[in-house]
Amino acid sequence: MNPFEYSPALESTAIVEIAERYNLFIDGKFVTPKSGKYFPTINPANEKVLAKIADANATDVDLAVGAARAAYSKVWSKMPAAERGKYLFRIARILQERAREFAVLETLDNGKPIRESRDTDIPLAAAHFFYHAGWADKLQYAGVGIQPRPYGVVGQIIPWNFPMLMLAWKVAPALATGNTVVLKPAETTSLTALLFAEVCQQAELPNGVVNIVTGAGVTGADIVNHPGIDKIAFTGSTEVGKLIATSIAGTKKSATLELGGKAANIIFEDAAIDEAVEGIVNGIFFNQGHVCCAGSRLLIQENIHDEVIEKLKVRMAHIRLGNPLDKNTDIGAINSAAQLAKIRELVTAGGAEGAEQWSAPCEIPGEGFWFAPTIFTGVSQTHRIAREEIFGPVLSVLTFRTPQEAVEKANNTPYGLSAGVWSEKGSKILWTASRLRAGVIWANTFNKFDPASPFGGYKESGWGREGGRHGLTAYLKASN
Ligand code: NAI
Ligand code: MG
| Same-domain check for residues 82 and 142 | yes
**pLDDT at residue 3, rounded to an integer:** 66
10 in any annotated domain: no
Our answer on whether the CB atom of 61 is closer than 6 Å to any ligand 1 atom is no
Other CB atoms within 10 A of residue 318 CB: 12
Ligand 1 center to 238 CA (angstroms): 8
Ligand 2 center to 49 CA (angstroms): 8
Is residue 165 predicted with pLDDT exceeding 60?
Answer: yes
Is residue 279 predicted with pLDDT exceeding 60?
Answer: yes
| Same-domain check for residues 218 and 151 | yes
250 in any annotated domain: yes
| Same-domain check for residues 34 and 119 | yes
| Same-domain check for residues 272 and 253 | no
| Same-domain check for residues 57 and 156 | yes
Ligand 1 center to 236 CA (angstroms): 4
User: Which residue is catalytic, options 11, 106, 200, 292?
Assistant: 292
Closest approach atom of ligand 1 to CA 187? 11
| Same-domain check for residues 112 and 239 | yes
Least confident of 5-9, 107-111, 285-289: 5-9
Our answer on whether the CB atom of 245 is closer than 6 Å to any ligand 1 atom is no
Identify the band that residue 1 occupies on the pLDDT scale cut at 50, 70 and 90. Answer: low
Our answer on whether the CB atom of 263 is closer than 6 Å to any ligand 1 atom is no
CA angle 380, 348, 288 (to 5 degrees): 90
Helices (H), 208-255: 217-225, 238-248
Is residue 276 predicted with pLDDT exceeding 70?
Answer: yes
Ligand 2 center to 88 CA (angstroms): 27
Identify the band that residue 4 occupies on the pLDDT scale cut at 50, 70 and 90. Answer: confident
132 in any annotated domain: yes
| Same-domain check for residues 247 and 271 | no
6 in any annotated domain: no
Is residue 358 predicted with pLDDT exceeding 70?
Answer: yes
Closest approach atom of ligand 1 to CA 158? 9
- Mean pLDDT computed over 254-272: 97
| Same-domain check for residues 110 and 52 | yes
* 405-423: pLDDT as tens digits: 999 999 999 999 999 999 9
Our answer on whether the CB atom of 291 is closer than 6 Å to any ligand 1 atom is no
| Same-domain check for residues 408 and 429 | yes
Mutate to test the pocket of ligand 1, among 187, 240, 288 (most ligand atoms within 8 A of CB): 240
**pLDDT at residue 431, rounded to an integer:** 98
| Same-domain check for residues 177 and 250 | yes
Our answer on whether the CB atom of 237 is closer than 6 Å to any ligand 1 atom is yes
Mean pLDDT of the chain: 97
Q: Characterize 277-311 residue by residue with b for buried, 16 or more Cβ atoms within 10 angstroms of its Cβ, and e for exposed.
A: bbbbbbbbbbbbbbbbbbbbbbbbbeebbeebbeb
Active site residue 258: yes
Ligand 1 center to 342 CA (angstroms): 13
Cβ pair 258, 466 in contact under 8 A: yes
Our answer on whether the CB atom of 109 is closer than 6 Å to any ligand 1 atom is no
Is residue 288 predicted with pLDDT exceeding 70?
Answer: yes
Our answer on whether the CB atom of 221 is closer than 6 Å to any ligand 1 atom is yes
Closest approach atom of ligand 1 to CA 224? 20
- Whether the full predicted model's pTM is greater than 0.95, yes or no, is yes
CATH number of the structural domain spanning residue 349: 3.40.309.10
Identify the band that residue 297 occupies on the pLDDT scale cut at 50, 70 and 90. Answer: very high
Identify the band that residue 159 occupies on the pLDDT scale cut at 50, 70 and 90. Answer: very high
- Mean pLDDT computed over 98-123: 98
Number of structural domains the chain divides into: 2
Ligand 2 center to 111 CA (angstroms): 8
Closest approach atom of ligand 1 to CA 258? 41
Is residue 2 predicted with pLDDT exceeding 70?
Answer: no
9 in any annotated domain: no
5 in any annotated domain: no
Q: Whose CA is nearest to atom 29 of ligand 1?
A: 237
User: Which residue is catalytic, options 11, 106, 116, 258?
Assistant: 258
- Mean pLDDT computed over 371-397: 98
| Same-domain check for residues 115 and 180 | yes
Our answer on whether the CB atom of 156 is closer than 6 Å to any ligand 1 atom is no
* 198-221: pLDDT as tens digits: 999 999 999 999 999 999 999 999
Cβ pair 26, 67 in contact under 8 A: yes
* 43-69: pLDDT as tens digits: 999 999 999 999 999 999 999 999 999
Our answer on whether the CB atom of 217 is closer than 6 Å to any ligand 1 atom is yes
Our answer on whether the CB atom of 39 is closer than 6 Å to any ligand 1 atom is no
- Spatial CA neighbour of 183 closest among 216, 202, 158: 158
Mutate to test the pocket of ligand 1, among 237, 238, 258, 291 (most ligand atoms within 8 A of CB): 237
| Same-domain check for residues 211 and 358 | no
Ligand 1 center to 443 CA (angstroms): 29
CATH number of the structural domain spanning residue 220: 3.40.605.10
- Spatial CA neighbour of 333 closest among 361, 371, 295: 371
**pLDDT at residue 479, rounded to an integer:** 81
Cross-strand partners of 153: 180
| C-beta pairs of 476-479 under 8 Å, 24+ apart in sequence | 476/139, 476/142, 476/144, 476/148, 476/149, 476/150, 476/151, 476/177, 477/144, 477/148, 477/149, 477/150, 477/151, 478/144, 478/145, 478/148, 478/149, 479/145, 479/147, 479/148, 479/149
15 in any annotated domain: no
Q: Amino acid identity, residue 452?
A: A
2 in any annotated domain: no
Other CB atoms within 10 A of residue 389 CB: 24
Active site residue 292: yes
* 131-144: pLDDT as tens digits: 999 999 999 999 99
Q: Characterize 325-364 residue by residue with b for buried, 16 or more Cβ atoms within 10 angstroms of its Cβ, and e for exposed.
A: bbebbbbbbbbbeebbebbeebbeebeebebeebebebee
Q: Whose CA is nearest to atom 32 of ligand 1?
A: 391
> Which residues span the domain enclosing 128?
21-258+459-477
